[in-house]
Amino acid sequence: MCGIVGYAGPGTGRRTEQDVDLGPGPSQRPLEVVIEGLRRLEYRGYDSAGVALVGPDTEDVAFAKKAGKLVNLRTELADRSLPAATAAVGHTRWATHGGPTDGNAHPHLADAGRLAVIHNGIIENYSELRRTLAAEGATFRSETDTEVAAHLLAREYRAAGDLTAAMVATAGHLRGTFTLLAVHADAPDTVVGARHDSPLVVGLGEGENFLGSDVAAFVAQTKEAMELGQDQVVTITPTSVSVVDFEGRPAEGKRFTVDWDAAAAEKGGFESFMDKEIHDQPQAVADTLRGRTDADGRIVLDDLRIDEAVLRSVDKIIVIACGTAAYAGHVAKYAIEHWCRIPVEVELAHEFRYRDPIVDAQTLVVAISQSGETMDTLMAVRHAREQGAKVLAVVNTNGSTIPRESDAVLYTHAGPEIAVASTKAFLAQITAAYVLGLYLAQLRGNKFPDEIATTLDELRDMARKVQTVIERGEYVRATARSMKDADKVLFLGRHVGYPVAMEGALKLKELAYIHAEGFAAGELKHGPIALIDDGQPVFVVVPSPRGRDQLHSKVVSNIQEIRARGARTLVIAEDGDDDVRPYADEIFWIPKAPTLLQPLLAVVPLQIFAMALATAKGLDVDQPRNLAKSVTVE
């Protein structure tokens, strides 16, 4: 959720095209870098923002913070003259403890205004710590758990006289999830950070270094980055990066290069990031498939640290995920069971470890997460590994926590997804799930090599077909604009169309704030048909008429049933499916595709529809209310 940026480097300098213009005069590079980093992290969701700066001539921390969007903070900064700085931290807050007010916004100060702290996560033992610190004389000015960390760090700094040592000591007192960044006026060129169950990445520059919740915070400045491990403290200055663990022992991070640039995180001429990311989907599918075969045509994975003999012995797969990723997991279930003949369960990650699941060494757990930082999924991964299961992560973010703590990784290569509501990450996750299913079928001998090669060729061709669906999008948009006053929309699907229906309903809830539900079409007569009245819009995802004729005819019958009761039927059907024409008020045509691959096409009109309807209602499709891109607390 919260966005965090840290910077240590030159106090002034020539403006570059990446810098944010905060007014006339010489560039205040630390402030400008931090504000630009926060802007690039807006997709994570937030309700206030703030910055803190220290420099060689500052006796106290200089800071500014405002409730609301980043523009409010920039307006505040335009009206003030902050001193030149050589270190800075910035924060966008998603309210947990205390409402979204100026006072609760980060940073929080301590040590008579000489220390500033920003924080992502939740400190579970903050109440007892607050009582102890208050008894010692600390004065609290906010309702947040973060201010407790600030006063605790100040106490440890007074004892140790060193900000890194103080952070190590502070981390030992905290329970919960946290990333902390701190600056102190006594160390004007230093930022110290700590991470426990919450993301933090280092950016490596020349004469300057960076910290961020993810690489988007600093990718405009450097592509060289370093992963931090769990329970580590990092100290950056303009010329150095040092890492220790929570015991104070030296540690090392893992370097990597960011393979996308800052332009990839910009709108590129589209009206919204979501619109851009919908148009990115053919490339996301193609890139996720790229390099998946060796010279002999056999499928290979990114980072496999599981013995092949172990994978051959797997007798059950459990997919764990949340939200959109969980619906990708449902599509994976159909494909993997069909290709590999292994039973697959799909679990919501936040329910998984609390129901005492049956997991052992013959279980493969597949964790799906766009950010790789979804806290519910991370905790489920840890529980699965404690029970002896092997874990394979499907993620989009290099250097994130879930792949580091898993036994294997399958990266989706979708590039940065800025809009909160997922689109291209969903298609990339489904594509990666197909790759995994085919890999397991290859490994276990469930399919012949020529069958796998044929399916891979069909999968590679899906990028072109997704592009075709996008090019037909104007009819979907026009239909959505005509329905901007709808207050309830239903979605029906069968087989792989069922998770597509659920995802379509979720997109409409996320973006347009109206009631939407996805149902298995076979459940219609078991209750949901009672919701049908005159004019009720109902989307129906029609399965391919080839290969599963029985399912196709049953769904066509469903369309007839609901239309007879007054529904407005909006049908997603394959080109040439004449059986649906007499019963559809609107048809959104998609190219023909193998049944199991159809979700890659069928979901795209639903994404476009939700975006267009929300836009027609005047809503922000990139940052829907109450939502965050990455849910990093349970």
CA distance from start to end of the chain:
11
> What band does 13 get if pLDDT is binned at 50, 70 and 90?
low
Alpha-carbon distance 144 to 137, whole Å?
18
Domains 3-263 and 267-460 agree in fold = no
Element (H or E) spanning 361, and its range?
A: none
Q: Which two tokens stand for residue 30?
A: 């630390």
Phi-psi category of 434—alpha, beta or left, where left has phi over 0 and alpha has psi -120 to 50? Answer: alpha
Entry pTM: 0.77
pLDDT tens, position by position, 188-207: 999 999 999 888 999 999 99
Q: Per the residue annotation, which of 276, 333, 509, 629 is the catalytic one?
A: 629
List the chain domain ranges: 3-263, 267-460, 466-634
Calpha distance 463→31 (Å, rounded): 41
Cα separation, 578 vs 492, in Å, equals 19
pLDDT mean across residues, the chain? 91
Give the three-class secondary structure for 312. helix
Q: 24 pLDDT band (50/70/90 cuts)?
A: very low
The answer to whether the bond into 107 is cis (omega within 30° of 0) is yes
Positive or negative, the CA dihedral 603, 607, 608, 610 is positive
Nearest residue to 30 (alpha-carbon basis) of 103, 113, 116, 93: 116
Q: Given this model, what pLDDT does residue 18 score?
A: 45
Alpha carbon separation from 591 to 205, 283, 429, 476, 566 (Å, rounded): 47, 18, 21, 15, 29
The H or E element that residue 368 is part of is strand 363-369
Q: Considering 2, 65, 390, 447, which one is annotated as catalytic?
A: 2
Q: What share of the chain is helix, strand, coil (3-state, %, to 5)?
A: 40, 25, 35
Q: Is the pLDDT of residue 20 over 60?
A: no
Q: Specify the pLDDT at position 122.
A: 85
Q: What are phi and psi of 189, to 5 degrees?
A: -120, 20
Residue in the structure block whose two tokens are 């005047």: 618
The confidence score (pLDDT) of residue 297 equals 87
The whole-angstrom separation of Cα 521 and Cα 569 is 13
What is the CATH class of 466-634?
A: alpha beta
Q: Is the pLDDT of residue 347 over 50?
A: yes
Q: For residues 155 and 227, give the distance between their C-alpha atoms in angstroms, rounded to a whole number.
A: 29
Tell me, yes or no, if 629 is annotated catalytic.
yes
Plot region of 326 (φ>0 → left; ψ -120 to 50 → alpha; else → beta): alpha
Which pLDDT belongs to residue 96? 79
Task: Please determine, for residue 365, whether its predicted confidence score (pLDDT) is greater than 90.
Answer: yes
pLDDT for res 557 = 87
Catalytic, 2? Answer yes
For the cut 50, the answer to whether the pLDDT of residue 46 exceeds it is: yes
CA distances from 434 to 58, 266, 364, 428, 459 (A): 56, 29, 16, 10, 8
Q: What is the pLDDT of residue 544?
A: 85
**pLDDT over threshold 70, residue 549:** no
What is the percentage of the chain residues whose pLDDT exceeds 70?
96
Q: Looking at the domain that runs over 3-263, which CATH code has it been given? A: 3.60.20.10
Dihedral over alpha carbons 627, 602, 466, 400 (to 10 degrees)? 40
What is the structure's pLDDT at 15?
43
Evaluate whether 579 touches 532 at the Cβ level (below 8 Å). no
Query: Hey, which CATH number is domain 267-460, 3.90.280.10, 3.40.605.10, 3.40.50.10490, 2.60.40.1530?
Result: 3.40.50.10490
pLDDT for res 548: 54
Between CA 595 and CA 438, with CA 598 as vertex, the angle to 5 degrees is 70
Arithmetic mean of pLDDT, 5-23: 65
**Per-residue model confidence as pLDDT tens digits over 58-71:** 899 999 999 999 99
- Rounded mean pLDDT, 423-439: 96
Residue from 273, 342, 256 nearest 621 by CA: 273
pLDDT tens sequence across 509-524: 999 999 999 998 888 8
CA distance 542 to 556: 7
Given a cut of 70, whether residue 26 has pLDDT beyond it is no
**What pLDDT, on a 0 to 100 scale, did the predictor assign at position 305?**
81
pLDDT grade, residue 12 (50/70/90)?
low
pLDDT per residue as tens digits for the range 294-333? 888 889 886 788 888 889 999 999 999 999 999 999 999 9
